[in-house]
Amino acid sequence: MTAFASAMTHRLPIASAEQTPPAPETQSAVDGAITSRRSIRRFLPTPVPRTTLEAILQVAARAPSGTNTQPWQVHVLTGAALARLSARILAAYDDPAQAAQHTEEYAYYPREWRSPYIDRRRKVGWDLYGLLGIAKGDKPAMHAQHGRNFRFFDAPVGLIFTIDRVMEQGSWLDYGMFLQNIMVAARGRGLDTCPQAAFTQFHRLIEDELKLDASTQQVVCGMSLGWADPAAIENTLVTERAPVAEFTRFHDA
């Protein structure tokens, strides 16, 4: 078991004024799992054992949720099921007439972009395309790269997340913490992930393929999970983060 995994699975006692802080190695392991998380865009085909997936989801389910509602529903795809969903979405994505018939159910991004958000969006896009040798204006190459989302970036595991339509905005906040838990728990086991809102455009195909009741279940997002390909240039991308002073105000008087 890695140091990450040991720290993630060890149950710490409830803190009290008399107790000492966690050991430095515990803090280091948890911080390391969080800070080493990146969106991986090319995976090795190496299978992930079902027992590992179940352990990750069990840990992730400790995410907080308002009045313990636990609003998450997870659909795990591997093998033929993953390949079948990928093929259906890619067929629609690569056909302009079909793609035009598929739209997102909710706005993930702002309808009006402004700084600093548009600047960050542009930078990460061009940083990735620069690594891949995709020039500005090369729409076929951009289309192909975006389409890799629907192959789950070659990962052996694809996750589709849904939520009951009766749940409101607070439950979506809870859902984000659950998703983060999955990604951190995966890192604790040496695995990598890529959360993907791209799947929301094709929610109707997902609903049909997974036999979801679209009247009650809504697709939240997808996620690729597996072992990162260390030879892939796109996996060297490390996105920038603003310093604490830029997004924080301390109120102490």
pLDDT in tens, 87-132: 999 999 999 999 999 999 999 999 999 999 999 999 999 999 999 9
5-9, 49-53, 72-76, 189-193: range with lowest mean pLDDT: 5-9
**Residue 21's pLDDT is what?**
83
Q: Which CATH code, of 3.40.109.10, 3.10.20.30, 3.40.50.300, 3.90.1300.10, is assigned to 41-240?
A: 3.40.109.10
Q: Please say whether the beta carbons of 216 and 152 come within 8 A.
A: no
Percent of the chain with pLDDT over 90: 89
* This prediction's pTM: 0.91
Chain centroid to CA 59: how far?
16
Residue with tokens 């720290």: 7
d(CA 128, CA 131): 5
Q: Roughly how many angstroms between the first and final C-alpha of the chain, as a whole number?
A: 46
Q: Name the residue with higher pLDDT: 138 or 11.
A: 138
Chain centroid to CA 206: how far?
17
**H-run or E-run covering 75:** strand 73-77
CA dihedral defined by 147, 151, 155, 161, rounded to 10 degrees?
100
What is the residue extent of each domain of the chain? 41-240
d(CA 25, CA 227): 24
What tokens does 185 get?
Answer: 């728990």
